[in-house]
Structure 1
């Protein structure tokens, strides 16, 4: 079964908008687990505009499911990951002030850099994942770095899905087949939602994990968090 990792960044954004501790990010994370989430994802950025580094340290001893930390591998980020030792680290090529991830790695150009990081995190016992697009060459070079998994950047799929689901999913199916052939695990994330997730999962049955935050938290405003997580889990059966 494909696992659902809930990205709680947007919960932290809401908290930070007013200061204080409402909503309580730690409680929401634990509630997500209690409601059926298979993991929790955080993406701390340098300006700490949502998840703060302190949140990451506070979450680690409390979580009972898988903990995934994603972000650009700056020195501060690398130090954080090595100290916290999550189950998985997902590397994204975000610039410091970027609003959200909008592309996968150029793994060919950055192969040496990424290979060193795979070695560093692997020696610490942390599963590694690299954020990539569907280009075969980028996936092949991700495999050359020694990454355990790749996470497919699914915004192009989500954007085209309403107009042409078959065309939207086709390049991702081919990419997923290549990932499997190369012996890596497969994650996916970005703009996956209750509208498009089930179709994606039906066409890529060997998908290991999806990481979903923005759409899930938006849905929770109407459905409630428990019901929303249940609905997303149903999409992954």
Structure 2
């Protein structure tokens, strides 16, 4: 079964709006696990506008499923990873001012750079995933970095799905099949929701994990967090 990792960045955004500790990010993560999530995802950015570096430390102490820490491997980010040693690190080429992730890595241009980082992270015991567009050339080049998995950036799929699901999924299916052939594990994430998730799952062979935050938190406002997590898990069965 494909695992659901809940991205709790938006919970931290809500907390930070008032400067106190409501909602409590750590308690929310524990509740997500209790309600059935198989992992917790966080994406600390340099300005700490949502998840703070201390949040990651606090979460590391209590998470009993899997902690997935996403981000651009800056010196500060790598220092945090060395300290907390999460189960998975997802490398994302975010610019410091990016509102959200908006592109995958060029694994050809940055192969030497990524190889060094992947090697260090794996020496720490972390599983490594590289954020990629569904481009076969980038999938092939990812193998050379030594990464364990790739995470397909699914914004384009989500944007095109309402009008032409088959065309929307086609490049992702090609990338997924190629990843399987090359021995790469497969994750996916970005703009996945209750409308498009089941179709993605049905058409991506070997899909190990999805990380979902924004849509899931929005749905939870109306449906409740426990019910929402169960609904998302149902789409992955």
Q: Given the two structures, how large is their TM-score scaled by the length of structure 2?
A: 0.99
Answer yes or no: is the 8 Å Cα contact 2:176–2:205 preserved in 1: no
Q: Deviations over 1:63-90 (max 9, x none)?
A: 1101000000000000101110000000
* Paired residue secondary structure (2:4): strand
Q: Measure the CA separation in 2 of the matches of 1:110 and 1:204.
A: 26
Q: Measure the CA separation in 2 of the matches of 1:200 and 1:129.
A: 19
Q: Deviations over 1:126-149 (max 9, x none)?
A: 100000001111111111100000
The aligned counterpart of 2:143 is 143
Answer yes or no: is the 8 Å Cα contact 2:177–2:205 preserved in 1: no
Q: Measure the CA separation in 2 of the matches of 1:202 and 1:55.
A: 34
Unaligned runs of 5+ in 2: none
The aligned counterpart of 1:220 is 220
The aligned counterpart of 2:8 is 8
Q: Measure the CA separation in 2 of the matches of 1:122 and 1:64.
A: 20
The aligned counterpart of 1:196 is 196
> What RMSD over aligned residues (CA atoms) do the two structures have, in Å?
0.5
Q: Measure the CA separation in 1 of the matches of 2:205 and 2:128.
A: 21
Answer yes or no: is the 8 Å Cα contact 2:128–2:148 preserved in 1: yes
| 2:35 maps to 1:57 | no
The aligned counterpart of 1:101 is 101
Unaligned runs of 5+ in 1: none
Q: How many residues align?
A: 237
The aligned counterpart of 2:158 is 158
Q: Given the two structures, how large is their TM-score scaled by the length of structure 1?
A: 0.99
The aligned counterpart of 2:234 is 234
Q: Measure the CA separation in 1 of the matches of 2:84 and 2:28.
A: 20
Q: Measure the CA separation in 1 of the matches of 2:96 and 2:72.
A: 8
| 2:68 maps to 1:68 | yes
Q: Measure the CA separation in 2 of the matches of 1:125 and 1:33.
A: 22
Q: Deviations over 1:8-56 (max 9, x none)?
A: 0000000000110000000000000000000000000000000000000
User: Which portions of structure 1, spanning 4 or more consecutive aligned residues, are displaced by more than 3 angstroms?
Assistant: none
Q: Measure the CA separation in 1 of the matches of 2:103 and 2:138.
A: 12
Q: Measure the CA separation in 2 of the matches of 1:215 and 1:194.
A: 8
* Paired residue secondary structure (2:21): coil
Q: Measure the CA separation in 1 of the matches of 2:56 and 2:16.
A: 15
The aligned counterpart of 1:174 is 174
How much does 1:205 deviate? Answer: 3.8
